[in-house]
Structure 1
């Protein structure tokens, strides 16, 4: 049995999995964000609540594990930031531990049980407050040992011109320290920044999309340019990875019309011909983190490892 954990800045959700594809909830607790000892104690309590002693922990976490050192970058949970977490958990709980970024676990969930089921290469896309992603091939994460595979939202490659008629797109500063990342225009905050740049007006992403669906001209211009920018770089990501489908999660994925628009603009840039949608709404919903964590544990064989042979990623 694997104990699956979806760890966010506010809450830890837990479930146990007795076999691939099975998941039974164990509830949730507040995330102890300031004390590593309290954090480990909370996980120990969740493990004790399982119907049998788990053979491994599989964790979806809002952070990134360095591939070489195993050190965790997790700014919104200070107790975990810059720790080498997997060995610490293994030493304290006596269980092997696997840790993956929440976007990676989202991609795993969609590949195993969601819109990407039956596809060999799945590129999971997050269009939330920002842009993220994860890449799965043959049912396994490409970066199962940690790292940044699938993070297509970063890199100074945003097109300088987009739309019809064309308009200049400024190289907005990104939180990663670069300028011109897709992340600066591709998420909800980016959509709002783009609307402000084009029209000099403040509006939140929900209002922009609602106005667009009601045939508002200004909102239509914003969404057309937004979709053009996202689609160009998504087509590049699909060509590089060979992805057969791109399930989309995050708040902006709630607009089926927006995803259809992005899909229509993405296909001309993709090598080969596809008569089915490439860009689709994700199916796993709020349980994607738990589903993906469990899939991580089974795909990486965590249940067969002891703490001396665990995987850090």
Structure 2
């Protein structure tokens, strides 16, 4: 059995993975985000309360781990930020640890048992509070440290649009750069874009998308420009990877019409012409971060026993 954790800034979600099709979710636990000793105590209690002694631990985290230094960047959990996290967890808990980025875990879950299960190459895209991504090739994550597939953080957002007669600013991003997709295409990003386009109007991302679906002129301009900003980089990713599908999760993925419009915009810009949908909503039920961590942990445990 692998004991899995989806580590968020607000809550820790545990699960026991007895097999790829036997993952039992546990109760959420508040995250001690500022106290590492308290954080470890929560995990120790979960290990002690498991139905079986776990063979290892697998973590999905909203952050990245530098493959060369082992140092973690977890901005929303300060007590984990800057630590050699895998080493510290293994020393404190006495069990083998697998760490993976949450977008990578999402992508692995979708590639193995979700919308990408019939495709050799799957690109997973998160459109939620932030923009993230991951890559799975023939069932294997490409660099589960959280860097591969990370489309959200690079200064690549298009700013000049002749068709809209507009120049966008290089919006500041939380990663320290300017002009990232995360800053303009996430849920907070589309709100920022809408405010810029419409004289400081404040609107929730869900309200913007709903108004767009009803034909509202202001929301339509916002979404049209949002689609233009995001579709070009996604088409480039597709040209590089040759993915069978781009699977979308996160809050914005729950609007089918929006994902349909994004699919049409991306396919129009790809070198390969698709007669079928390429950008599709996620299908994995439950908690994809936990499921992906479970699958990764079970795979690593199998490698250790070979």
Aligned-pair CA distance for 1:67: 0.7
Aligned-pair CA distance for 1:166: 3.7
CA distance in 2, matches of 1:193, 1:65: 29
Q: Aligned pair 1:154/2:153, yes or no? A: yes
Alpha-carbon distance change, 156 to 292 in structure 1, aligned in 2, over 3 angstroms = same
- Displacement over 6 Å in runs of 4+: none
Aligned-pair CA distance for 1:262: 0.4
Alpha-carbon distance change, 280 to 252 in structure 1, aligned in 2, over 3 angstroms = same
Alpha-carbon distance change, 49 to 272 in structure 1, aligned in 2, over 3 angstroms = same
Aligned to 1:129: 129
Aligned-pair CA distance for 1:263: 0.2
Is 200-209 or 55-64 further displaced after alignment?
200-209
In the TM superposition, 1:1-313 aligns within 5 A as 1-144=1-144, 146-162=145-161, 164-200=163-199, 201-299=201-299, 301-305=300-304
Is 231-240 or 43-52 further displaced after alignment?
43-52
Aligned-pair CA distance for 1:127: 0.8
CA distance in 2, matches of 1:79, 1:155: 26
CA distance in 1, matches of 2:64, 2:243: 22
Alpha-carbon distance change, 298 to 275 in structure 1, aligned in 2, over 3 angstroms = farther
Q: Deviations over 1:233-260 (max 9, x none)?
A: 1111111122211111111111100000
Unaligned 5+ runs, structure 2: none
Partner SS state of residue 152, structure 2:
coil
Aligned-pair CA distance for 1:302: 3.2
Contact 1:96 1:305 in 2 (8 A): no
How many residues are matched?
Answer: 304
Contact 2:63 2:146 in 1 (8 A): no
Partner SS state of residue 54, structure 1:
coil
Alpha-carbon RMSD across the aligned residues, in angstroms, is 1.7
Aligned-pair CA distance for 1:277: 1.0
CA distance in 2, matches of 1:91, 1:196: 48
Unaligned 5+ runs, structure 1: 307-313
Normalised to the residue count of structure 2, the TM-score between the two structures is: 0.94
CA distance in 1, matches of 2:153, 2:94: 37
Alpha-carbon distance change, 7 to 270 in structure 1, aligned in 2, over 3 angstroms = same
**Larger RCO, structures 1/2 (Cα 8 Å, 6+ apart):** 1
Aligned-pair CA distance for 1:192: 1.5
CA distance in 2, matches of 1:257, 1:18: 37
